[in-house]
Amino acid sequence: MAHLFTPKKVGAYTLSHRVVLAPMTRLRTIQPGDIPSPMMADFYGQRASEGGLEIIEGVSISIVARSYLGAASFYHDGQVEGWKAIANAVHAKGGRVFMQLIHGGRQSHVEMTGGVDPVAPSVVPFEGVALTKDGFVPASPHRALDIEEIPGIIEEFRVAAQRALDAGFDGVELHGANGYLVDQFIQDGTNKRADAYGGPIENRVRFLREAVEALISVWGADRVGVRISPSGEWGGISDSNPEATFSYVAKVLNDYKIAYLHVIEPRIKGDETLHEGHAPVAVKYLRPHFTGPIIAAGGFDGASAEAIVASGDADLVAFGRHFTSNPDLPYRVKHKLPLTPYVRAGFWGGDEKHYTDFPTYEAAATA
């Protein structure tokens, strides 16, 4: 692990290793008012490490932005203390923590949006689901955003970024992946607009640009990251030429000199793993267009993570599933120790079981 466990400067910070906690929707925001629960602070504190980076699960910027019951959000002042507890838990172990900000767009239901129709760049047939008190249900019919409404959503991103700063986080990540609103604007399978936000790729990235600029206005470019999924299918997303589209996206983001570009590789489709052993491809064609740090995500283990960092195609690797059941994952990867198998049944929702009850390697050995 000669490359994974070397320091790396990422934006404003120098990390001591390159194993990143990926943002994962865990649906443990179960307190009234969508206030982060104490077990969330336990979860992130357990997985923090000296000089490591954690990226907090997609945090909805408004009520209308929500997609899943129990998902994280940050849209009122009453949530600040809950988020401070999470940031403090990571900092107590010497880690850095970014908050991922999200708008679900058409991936929602009126029960989650406060009774209003979900919004999207355009109305395109969609057979996705949202999570409500009745479980996973078909998403509600969505409507196309009026151009006059877009500045209001950009402002919600800015306000959420400010709240993250006030709560003591180290930066923010824009969720531009997995078929949520930003991704819906970028890809031509979901963006059929004929105004300044649709048509050629230069227009389709306008929403992305404005959201990034809003985050930078609060944090500065060196504490803002962006996540994309060039090969993703989750959320019914598609593009006629994803390599050209996302190469352009990478060039645009490179010009802003953001902290990092976070890329989901094609092995992952939502909550399922595809093509185990499939070689990463997106980072290879994005690397010439983005000169800053690239975080690769999607089905990595210790050996493949070391290999992609050694190759130079990526600078850091984000782990999701393995981090759920191995709170000390960087330690285990570094020392090539066996991993505790993850429990898929505990991924989305529940209590402490299969969430904060996984022991570290040393604790399990001692027991």
Q: Any catalytic annotation for residue 75?
A: no
Q: What is the chain's alpha carbon radius of gyration, rounded to the nearest angstrom?
A: 19
Q: Rounded to 10 degrees, what is the CA torsion of 147, 153, 155, 157? A: -140
Q: Which residues does 57 contact at the CB level (< 8 Å), separation at least 6?
A: 23, 24, 25, 26, 71, 72, 100
Cα distance between residue 169 and residue 36, in whole Å: 14
Determine the 3-state secondary structure of 174 from DSSP.
strand
HEC sequence for 72-123: CECCCHHHHHHHHHHHHHHHCCCCEEEEEEECCCCCCCCCCCCCCCCEECCC
Determine the 3-state secondary structure of 285 from DSSP.
helix
Determine the 3-state secondary structure of 58 from DSSP.
strand
Q: In the 8-state DSSP scheme, what is residue 344?
A: G
94 in Cβ contact with 51 (< 8 Å):
yes
Give the burial class of 50: count Cβ atoms within 10 A of its Cβ; 0-12 exposed, 13-18 middle, 19 or more buried: exposed
Going 256 to 261 to 264 to 266, the CA torsion angle's sign is positive
Cα distance between residue 342 and residue 350, in whole Å: 15
What type of residue is 52?
G
Q: Of residues 44, 68, 75, 180, which has the active-site annotation? A: 180
Cα distance between residue 141 and residue 130, in whole Å: 12
Going 145 to 225 to 335 to 325, the CA torsion angle's sign is negative
112 in Cβ contact with 142 (< 8 Å):
no
Pairing state of beta strands 119-120 and 260-264?
unpaired
Residue numbers annotated as active site: 180
